[in-house]
Amino acid sequence: MKILILGGDGYLGWPTAMHLTAQGHNVAVVDNYLRRSLCREENVEPLVDVPNLHQRTASWESTSGYHIPAFIGDLTKWEFVDEVFREFSPEAIIHYAEQPAAPYSMLNRSAATLTLCNNLEVTANVIFAVQQFNPDVHIVKLGTMGEYGTPDIDIEEGWLEVDHKGRHQKFLYPRQAGSLYHTTKIMDTDLLWFYVRTWGLRVTDLMQGPVYGIFTEENRIDENLYPFLNYDELFGTVLNRFVIQAVADYPMTVYGKGGQTRGYLNLMDTLNCVRLSVENPAAKGELRILNQFTETFSVNQLAQKVQRVARSMGFKADISAVENPRKEAEEHYYNPAHTGLLDLGLKPQFLTDKVLAEMIEFAAKHKKAIRPEQIYRKVRWDHNLT
Amino acid sequence: MKILILGGDGYLGWPTAMHLTAQGHNVAVVDNYLRRSLCREENVEPLVDVPNLHQRTASWESTSGYHIPAFIGDLTKWEFVDEVFREFSPEAIIHYAEQPAAPYSMLNRSAATLTLCNNLEVTANVIFAVQQFNPDVHIVKLGTMGEYGTPDIDIEEGWLEVDHKGRHQKFLYPRQAGSLYHTTKIMDTDLLWFYVRTWGLRVTDLMQGPVYGIFTEENRIDENLYPFLNYDELFGTVLNRFVIQAVADYPMTVYGKGGQTRGYLNLMDTLNCVRLSVENPAAKGELRILNQFTETFSVNQLAQKVQRVARSMGFKADISAVENPRKEAEEHYYNPAHTGLLDLGLKPQFLTDKVLAEMIEFAAKHKKAIRPEQIYRKVRWDHNLT
């Protein structure tokens, strides 16, 4: 299948590109290096330097034989969108091209505005391009479990059946998120749902939980093919951060009571979920919503898991409860459904001690590169945006 | 009270400014003439020429003695927002500063992008300005009843109590709108709700139905003080359009079956609703949602009302069912709650024959200015956005 990956340079985008070519698909990638620029500006560079996208595609081609064309440009600009769609006519689009970090979106006013405008404008342009060039294209959009927040009822898979005063209606599951970034993802869903109903587009919206991991089947052969590994408070996901903290002898920073529970998944499962979604497209006029995670953990459980495995490997791996810089429930009900991707054939890779040990080994190998000062800088949700 | 009206040149903004000064408030207005520019570009000018905002404030000052400072500029630009907030420190903000037309938002890609970016960026800047300059400021935001769409259950006033699998949660009432414009209003609500929860802002979100009318208590003395009266398909609201069509001997264009039912209100009621909201502010950390309309009518009922009154005044006033250019339910359940504003003291001005006759008289007086070719141009919801 001809698949266009937007945000193909990212933590998920690049591993997805390799995986889909290895599975026989014809893939092109698009990126404007926004993530790299923001990390450089904020002085939170990834653990290991990552070659640029042209260098990575060259490495992958020399290793695997698969060629991945790379388009470098800004998808908020229609002229660029137009060029990409004319040169590579996709049958499916995987849309990762967003500012992906909740803490960054809460950093200051310009970061907030960038997040809002970038994420919404790219999603709108993707919709307009599909309608203009080929309305049959399947859009696979990365959403987030964070769209649902932490309601006191079960989280269903995208939709909620409501009985009210003797009548019945099926709604998009009501969403209320915990950061501006997550709120832009709600807006994406609002936008996609409107155009699915109006234009009959086919869309899969993947409500993904936090992803952890570095290795995939495709990248083990060459460190040049590894994804970004951010371990800072802005762009690092929690488990990746804890692993680095354990190795760096920097007590793992648990926010508040640590009862915050989320659905997590291994990077390899992201690739499989996205591939299964692409290979089993949504119908015309369908907004298919799938909850994309494999296990739920509280932050305390994650820290304790990392501590246990890291200690068995000789690290101190202390845990430190810090004042919660975010505004969120620290103890709450959490029971989200997630059967859709299992039904499509997902075989989960759970968070075993072996998986953790491999991550810790990798971090230990690069221990000298860890800069502790970039781990925690207290981006507070309640600060003035100036 | 010191009140800043964003979009103070608009159909609602200018009458609100006069009304609030007449009621003893200290008012400033802000506008970038976006509505005027778009009407000129699309060749759908209002029935009667409207003096610019400086001329209108001068007319109002010479008539009433009340001075209204006017800031002309673009609220998507932070430098301008910063200037306005430093010069006029409001206690309340009335936020009308959005691209307000559903058909315009469906016209083509650039109109869609303009609607999305303008509406979201202005709302975000308003939030950021309030947080930076004075978090105690009460934001009164104009939303729309169109955010709810036409669900098959009762529409409540902003919130829905859900019982699900033995547990309970109160949610923002689930929203699904019928145009991109209306969808941007959903996104505004998402954004306001996030920052109300995170920063404890005080916000009133007014879910308003379509407004009709020309006259207010303040403008009868001077035609220079009248608001825009658009009668075109892009910017004209339905009842205003029907009145002009009846007078112009242009059969009233009912879309499809005409069973589309909405909550309507008189322009004078908008002013009273907004004033009551400002004078009775939401609490800190409260998103107060009020459904702002006084009566529900189907499109057929509106056309028949206009027909009856217009015929009694000697006009032909035919009705013509045309193919529905929109994508919407033409027959549906509709039972929206609207007690909040009545509880605040609203005394509705219903759509009486006298009200209709006054509007028809006004249209007849300006009959020569009506340009029938701008009434209906079939902006289709299902067109490619090119």
Residue A113 belongs to a domain with what CATH number?
3.40.50.720
pLDDT at B84 over 80: yes
- The pLDDT value given to residue A6: 98
Interface TM-score (ipTM) > 0.90? yes
Residues B277, B295: Cα–Cα separation, whole Å: 19
A-chain residues near B149 (CB < 8 A):
none
Q: Which residues of A touch B179 (CB under 8 A)?
A: 194
Q: Least CB-CB distance to A174: which of B78, B165, B174?
A: B174
Q: Where are the beta strands (DSSP E) in chain B?
A: 2-6, 26-31, 70-72, 92-95, 138-144, 159-164, 167-172, 202-208, 211-212, 252-255, 261-266, 287-292, 295-298, 319-322
**A381 inside domain:** no
**Which residue is catalytic, options B11, B181, B212, B264?**
B181
User: What's the rounded Cα separation, in Å, for the pair A137 and B27?
Assistant: 51
* Band of residue A166 on the pLDDT scale cut at 50, 70, 90: very high
The 10s digit of each residue's pLDDT in A332-363 is: 999 999 999 999 999 999 999 999 999 999 99
Tokens at B268, concatenated:
């004078």
What's the token pair of residue B257?
């079956």
Asked, for residue A317, whether it belongs to a domain, the answer is: yes
Which residue's entry shows tokens 């068995």?
A312
| Residue B383 counted as domain residue | no
| φ and ψ of B109, to 5 deg | -65, -45
Residue A171 has its nearest CB partner, among B174, B194, B327, at: B174
Asked if the Cβ–Cβ distance from A165 to B153 is below 8 Å, we say yes
Chain A residues in contact with B173 (beta carbon < 8 A)? 174
Nearest Cβ partner of B132 from A125, A194, A384?
A384
CB contact under 8 A, A384 and B124: no
pLDDT of residue B378: 82
Q: B interface mutation test: which of A113, A148, A381 has the most B CBs within 10 A?
A: A113
Of B171, B187, B327, the CB nearest to A190: B187
Residue B161 is predicted with a pLDDT of 98
When scoring B194, B327, B332 by the number of chain A Cβ atoms within 10 A, the one with the most, hence best to mutate, is B194
Residue B382 lies in a domain: no
Angle between helices A299-312 and A353-365 (to 10 degrees): 70
Report whether pLDDT(A385) > 70.
no
- The token pair that represents A56 in the structure block: 């990575």
- The predicted model gives B166-171 an average pLDDT of 98
Percent of chain B with pLDDT strictly greater than 90: 97
Q: Which residues, 6+ apart, have CB-to-CB distance to A288 below 8 Å?
A: A158, A203, A204, A205, A282, A340
Q: Which of A206, A177, A190 is nearest to B176 (CA)?
A: A190
Q: Is residue A384 part of a domain?
A: no
> From B333, which residue of chain A is nearest by alpha-carbon distance?
A167
Q: Measured between CA atoms, how close is B261 to chain A, in angstroms?
A: 18
Q: Cβ–Cβ of A167/B180 closer than 8 Å?
A: no
Flag if A132 and B162 touch (Cβ within 8 Å).
Answer: no
Average pLDDT over residues B16-33: 98
Mode of pairing for the β-strands spanning B159-164 and B167-172: antiparallel
Q: How far is A151 from chain B (nearest CA, A)?
A: 7
Amino acid, res. B144: T
DSSP secondary structure code for residue A223 in this structure: G
Classify strands A92-95 and A167-172 as parallel, antiparallel or unpaired. unpaired
In this complex, which of A112, A174, A194 lies closest to B124 when CB atoms are compared? Answer: A112
In whole angstroms, what is the distance from residue A148 CA to residue A182 CA? Answer: 9
Q: Element (H or E) spanning A30, and its range?
A: strand A26-31
Burial class (CB in 10 A: 0-12, 13-18, 19+), A40: exposed
| Predicted local distance difference test score (pLDDT) of residue B385 | 53
Catalytic residue positions of A? 144, 181, 185
| pLDDT grade for B214, boundaries at 50, 70 and 90 | very high
Contact criterion met (CB < 8 Å) for A162 and B160: yes
**∠ CA A359-A360-A361, rounded to 5°:** 90
What are the DSSP E strand ranges found in A51-137? 70-72, 92-95
Q: How far apart are CA B352 and CA B204, in angstroms?
A: 29
Instruction: Tell me the pLDDT of chain B averaged across its residues.
Output: 97
Q: Identify whether the C-beta of residue A268 lies closer than 8 Å to the C-beta of residue A216.
A: yes
How close does chain A come to B293, measured CA to CA in Å?
22
Mean predicted confidence (pLDDT) in B276-299: 98
**In sequence order, what are the residues at sequence separation of 6 or more whose Cβ sits closer than 8 angstroms to the Cβ of residue A40?**
none
Q: What is the mean pLDDT of residues B2-20?
A: 98
Indicate if the pLDDT at residue A386 is higher than 60: no
Q: Encode pLDDT of A32-43 as tens digits.
A: 999 999 999 999
Give pLDDT tens digits for B303-320: 999 999 999 999 999 999
Cβ within 8 Å, pair A153-B169? yes
pLDDT of residue B379: 87
Asked if residue B191 has pLDDT above 80, the reply is: yes
All residues at 6 or more sequence positions from B222 whose CB lies less than 8 Å from its CB, including other chains: B59, B63
User: Is there a contact between B198 and A333 if contact means CB atoms under 8 Å apart?
Assistant: no
Q: Spell out which residues of chain B touch residue A177, defining contact as CB-CB under 8 Å.
A: 194
Residue range(s) defining the domain that contains residue B213: 2-374
H or E stretch at B64: helix B53-64
With 0-12 / 13-18 / 19 or more C-beta atoms within 10 angstroms meaning exposed / middle / buried, residue B295 is middle
Q: Are A31 and A13 in contact (CB under 8 A)?
A: yes
The closest alpha carbon to A278, from A327, A341, A229, A223, belongs to A341
Residue A30 phi, psi dihedral angles, 5° rounding: -130, 135
Give the confidence band of B92 by pLDDT, cuts at 50, 70, 90.
very high
The pLDDT value recorded for residue A383 is 72
Task: State which residue of chain B sits closest to A119, comparing Cα positions.
Answer: B117
Core vs surface per residue A227-237: b (16+ CB within 10 A) or e:
bbbbbbbbbbb
Q: Which of B185, B212, B237, B294 is catalytic?
A: B185
Across the interface, whether the CB atoms of B152 and A172 are under 8 A apart is answered no
Structural domain contains residue A339: yes
- Interface contact flag, A183 B167, Cβ < 8 Å: no
B101 Cα to chain A: minimum distance (Å): 16
Residue of B21, B115, B123, B144 with catalytic role: B144
Residue B381 lies inside a defined structural domain of this protein: no
Which residue, among A213, A303, A209, A211, has the nearest Cα to A253 in the 3D structure?
A303
Question: Per-residue confidence at A384, pLDDT binned at 50, 70, 90?
Answer: low
Q: Is A215 exposed, middle or buried (0-12, 13-18, 19+ CB in 10 A)?
A: middle
With bands split at pLDDT 50, 70 and 90, how would you rate the model's confidence at A44?
A: very high
d(CA B36, CA A379): 42
Confidence at residue B384, expressed as pLDDT on a 0 to 100 scale? 57
High-pLDDT (> 70) share of chain A, %: 99
A380 domain-assigned = no
Residue corresponding to tokens 């009694």: B312
Mean pLDDT, rounded, of chain A:
97
Interval B33-53: pLDDT, tens: 999 999 999 999 999 999 999
Mean pLDDT of B19-29: 98
With an 8 Å Cβ cutoff, are B167 and A174 in contact? Answer: no
Please give, rounded to a whole number of angstroms, the shortest distance from the CA of A297 to a CA of chain B: 22
Name which of A125, A172, A382 is nearest B176 (Cβ-Cβ): A172
Per residue in B362-380, pLDDT (tens digit) is 999 999 999 999 999 888 9
Give the model confidence (pLDDT) of A91-144 as tens digits: 999 999 999 999 999 999 999 999 999 999 999 999 999 999 999 999 999 999
- B296 as an active site residue: the answer is no
The SS3 call for residue A358 is: helix
Q: What percentage of chain A has pLDDT greater than the value 90? A: 97
Residue B165: which of A112, A116, A153 has the nearest Cβ? A153
Query: Is A174 in Cβ contact with B153 (below 8 Å)?
Result: no
Q: Cα(B217)–Cα(B225) distance, rounded to whole angstroms?
A: 11
Q: How far is B190 from A102, CA to CA, in rounded Å?
A: 16
Q: In whole angstroms, give the CA distance from residue A147 to residue B326.
A: 29
Per the CB < 8 A criterion, the answer to whether A51 and A9 are in contact is: no
Note if B144 is an active site residue: yes
**3-state DSSP call for residue A199?**
helix
Number of domains observed in the structure of chain A: 1
Residue A379 confidence (pLDDT):
87
Cβ contacts below 8 Å, chain A against chain B, sum to: 136
Q: Which amino acid type is present at position B20?
A: L
Nearest alpha-carbon partner for A98 in A27, A35, A16: A35
